[in-house]
Amino acid sequence: MRPLFADTSYYLGLLNPNDQWHETVMRFTASFDGAILTTAWVLTELANAMSRPDNRGVCVSFIEDLRADPRVTIVAPSQALFDQGFQLYASRLDKDWSLTDCISFVVMRRQGLTEALTGDRHFEQAGFTALLAGE
């Protein structure tokens, strides 16, 4: 079974009970028993979003748990991957895709993944299935 790609919106939905995706993410996660693939860039974006002192400890513990979970693969940053993501970012001046999104799209294509745990419709624009967007 192929892993699902986990985007920042999935993780924010898990960690923030006030997040728009929280209930959807919690329902999905309660029955999900598969593997997850994400990137260091997604986790950087998550940490940036949770950088306030009252959120920081929760985020640190969460990322440490992800790093220790054998069902979670975190794609490490590399210059080549950054360059490929940036090339996509630079080539799509008509889109408001973030650089993190573009790197995610490159990783998903490399891994042959089509589904992402995200509510971000940019994934759909790029040809992927955003599993949370339809909720």
pLDDT digits (tens, 9 = 90+) for 53-77: 999 999 999 999 999 999 999 999 9
Q: Is residue 24 part of a domain?
A: yes
Q: Is residue 110 part of a domain?
A: yes
Give the DSSP per-residue string, 109-123.
Answer: HHHT--EEE---HHH
Residue 135 has pLDDT above 70, yes or no: no
Number of domains in the chain: 1
Cβ-contact 75, 111 below 8 angstroms = no
Q: How far is CA 83 from CA 21, 76, 79, 108, 121, in A?
A: 31, 14, 6, 15, 23
Q: How far apart are the first and last CA of the chain?
A: 23
In whole angstroms, give the CA distance from residue 103 to residue 10.
Answer: 17
Q: Is residue 10 part of a domain?
A: yes
> With a threshold of 0.85, does the pTM exceed it?
yes
The percent of residues above 70 in pLDDT, for the chain, comes to 99
Cβ-contact 24, 61 below 8 angstroms = no
The pLDDT tens digits of the residues spanning 11-48 come to 999 999 999 999 999 999 999 999 999 999 999 999 99
The pLDDT tens digits of the residues spanning 69-113 come to 999 999 999 999 999 999 999 999 999 999 999 999 999 999 999
Q: Is residue 90 part of a domain?
A: yes
In whole angstroms, give the CA distance from residue 11 to residue 104.
Answer: 15
Q: Is residue 28 part of a domain?
A: yes
How many CB atoms neighbour CB 37 within 10 A? 22
Q: What pLDDT is stored for residue 134 in this prediction? A: 66
Q: What pLDDT is stored for residue 116 in this prediction? A: 97
The CATH number covering residue 116 comes to 3.40.50.1010
Q: Is residue 93 part of a domain?
A: yes
Q: Is residue 30 part of a domain?
A: yes
Q: Which domain covers residue 23, as residue numbers?
A: 4-130
Q: Is residue 135 part of a domain?
A: no
Q: What pLDDT is stored for residue 33 in this prediction? A: 92
